[in-house]
Structure 1
Amino acid sequence: MLFVIFYMGLLVFSNAYDNVALHMPSYQSYPYKGNVIYDAANAVDGLKSNLSIDGGQCVVSAAGYETATWRVDLLSVHYIDHITLYFMTNNQHWDELNTRISSYLGFSLYVSNSTDRLNGILCFKDIEYNKSTIPEVFNTTCRMFGQYIIYYNERLPGVDYPSDYNDDAENDLCEVEVYGCPTLNPDCDVWDPMMCACLVCKPSYMDMEPHHETTDWPVGSYGYYYDEMCGHCKDPTQCSPGTGICLTGCSAGYFGPSCKEECHIGNYGYNCNETCGHCNDLSQCSTTNGICHTGCSYGYTGGLCKKECNIGLYGFGCYDTCGHCIDPAECNHVSGTCRTGCAAGYRGRLCIEHCYVGHYGYNCNETCGHCFDPAQCSNVSGTCRTGCEAGYSGRLCKNECNIGLYGFGCYDTCGHCIDPAECNHVSGTCRTGCAAGYRGRLCIEHCDVGHYGYNCNETCGHCFDRAQCSNVSGTCRTGCEAGYSGRLCKNECDIGLYGVLCYDTCGHCIDPSECNYVTGTCRTGCAAGYRGRLCIEHCDIGHYGYNCNETCGHCNNATQCSTVTGTCQTGCEAGYSGRLCKDGSCYFFFFYILLEIWVVFLISNYFEGNQLSFYT
């Protein structure tokens, strides 16, 4: 009867969990302004009537950090049943318009026996809440042993967080309540921390039946008659004789209060707190030691398959060698892909394929230059191993020949182009034609005799020696032929001049403009009074007129016949009259005789002193 009363007492005590965090030491990583009004202790002061930032009942952390940590020290290891969090609401309605909500999304809760959360057990990790679903008072069951309760959140660079999350990590909590068993009663001989009850009291405290006063029950059994087998306790002597609970935890491969449940697939070790590595078959991960019985999945090695392949290796068993990655450390240990691209000369997903002909460099993104043989372009550096095509130079054969050079190796000198920059760097042809004095495709041939100028398109003038016509300027170096003048000997002599250098004066041509500028001959004949090829000879006596074609009349003195007009300057012979003395008459002859007599008479009287009047 006494045992029944005792067991019922246990049932009553088992539901009497206390807030073991109340007024316990607390800590936060980045305090806000160092002011006590925002202190970490506000979350375990038992006050939660004012949930605003400046109400003095909430923890406030500094903004602008990538991580935020708050923790409470329970001072000794306790059995934890559940945890309650009161978030800061700023005393506003808790909905998606509340600006505080986004800072809590993604938070985690750890239970640990040290201040390092990574040495503890993850109790809760938010991966589902958003602004509309996260509660303002959060509860989670967390049945495990521990001394430190750690609240953690992060906003790490390079991580793509949901749109509801804020930018900074914060730990603004108004109250954290940790419900679990209080510390051991000093009057208890055997304490069950999960039941929060004394299984066996000290003899001085309660007079119980002999087999309840002793702790000498069979190891490995429990129950009133010790007919229940304990689970896989880490320490078999620490199996609770009343409940079968393993007081110091489970041996490797088991979990639960009684350590009778095998680890779930993917977990192993004491209390199943370890996570299996990358086993090829996760169901073949040993729940005891985590060894992968069927080997590792792609990219991992070692007995626990937690070690990534060494740099330069990948794949199943890490047997495959990475390709030519720019950075060998960036070869994906699972697939072998090069995360930062291929080294010079290689392409493809695995960077094991050589560049196509005509390409080189990182990821084969560069195009080869003008190699003489494209197949001899180095896929790594782009160097043309057998030289360049005509017209190009340099290691990569991407440089056109310098102005004035062309051909293979740019060793050939361009001809006489009008514009040297227009010499084709490949063939040497002058795209805009040849300079003065040269012709041909390459403009290296001198003009033929008698030609000069650009592309030899000009014809030399009347040079005295055609071979002495400059093929550049057309200048006649040894002078002009007769009848021409000027530097190019293309100008005919001026009217009235002829011959070499036009130094000779034309004769008496009928038309001076018809004086041949070469020979001086008068093409339309001589002017009156002149004859001969050059019209510079006077007419013979007895002739006059154009080309001296006219015969003088009966001049009294033949030498006095004008060679120009035929006029007899001293009169006509007897019997002739007229300006040209070509008209014959008796009357005139008689008159002429009388005139002569009269003249003789006058002369004789003059000498005799007699003066006669013509009218007397």
Structure 2
Amino acid sequence: MLNYLIIFAIPWIAYAYENIALLKSAWQLHPYMYKHKIITTNASNAVDGLKTNLSYFGGQCTISANYQYEALWRVDLGAVLGIHHINIYYKTDDVPWGPGNGFTTRFLGFSVFISNTTDKEDGVLCFKDDKFTRYTIPAVITLNCTHHGRYVIYYNNRTSTNLPPDYSAYAFNELCEFEVYGCPSPSYYGEDCSQSCPDQCMDSRCHIETGNCFGCKVGYQGPTCDQPCQKNTYGHGCSMICGLCVNGEQCNHVNGTCHNGCEAGIYGSHCQMECPQGFYGRNCSNKCSEKCFIYKDCNIKTGVCFGGCAVGWKPPLCNEECDDGTFGTNCSNYCGHCHQGQSCDVETGACPNGCDSGYKGIHCNESCAHSFYGPNCRLRCSNTCINRTCDAEKGSCDMVQNEIGHKNSKTSDIIVESREILFAVLTALVVVFV
């Protein structure tokens, strides 16, 4: 009979969880043999649902071999299932349980593991006895083990050279019933196993009491995995950092791609690479100008040429020639007085058809010297002009000398003026057709 019964780490409430270990496949290390035959004390006795006779001869308990230093038993739940608690009924031989019962020393020091493989080292430790004595250990123990797993493993050993005084010399499996209570479907939780685990739980598994996920699917976070990754993170556990999406947008919370493309100067499926040499802009789709001061070297975002433009090209992108009337480096110079207002050469500033009347020089920005006028200042002022000073553009005298002798007669003035005009016309024609 049982003298002691305790509930360990679980409040006293009624549970509707099922015994998901009942009649499942079980196995033990070092089974008990009688005359080289395994008798009716095999591993499956611990999950047959029978616990009315807890003696060797009752046929309801599993028994392991004598003189072994390790004892191991496990049950295969058939799938990774949610576990809430475990009840263990140890062999009492149907005699009063307590320090006088020799089986108490064999029960001491046991452990229980939950694993997804048959190896206990791959699992989690549900319980390890390190405090009971032969006076305090109960024959029936209820363990709180809210985990998911396929295999529940009972283990005991006597491999230490410094065993506690109450421990038996050898290790045994003497389990009369091993009940694992939980939900028969891995994706449900709650006292009656009727509530579905949240959709974004990894492997559709959640805590059997709270419904909180043990892990989230890629791209989700939070206790119930209902929150997509935020703050420019994505991926498993929201541990990956988004690239430079346009306008600082959040990337796809699952795969990290940018919905609307990359920020200017960045490219790639995850917007994490800078534009290669010679390219700039959104998705690096624009080419730097060949007229950059440094050939095709520009800002990857804006396309502005580093070091400015080649001579004759207009900043900041250096993809247009200087506007009419300007020339030189970064179009910073102004054309002179070219013939008939024509634009000068964008690189040199030279006027292609010479200068307008009254100006000379390569850039047509020099006024005619004293006594010269007309296109390119090739005409001389009339000698009838006082000091031979005339209008630099038209050649008209500022002042005419008084009539002295045969000079400055009207006739002679007309003749001289006619000659000068004819000469200017011929000169202009020569300039035009040169």
TM range (shorter): 0.3 to 0.5
The two structures have a TM-score, normalised by structure 2, of: 0.43
**Higher-Rg member (1/2):** 1
The two structures have a TM-score, normalised by structure 1, of: 0.31
Structure with greater contact order relative to length (CA < 8 Å, sep ≥ 6): 2
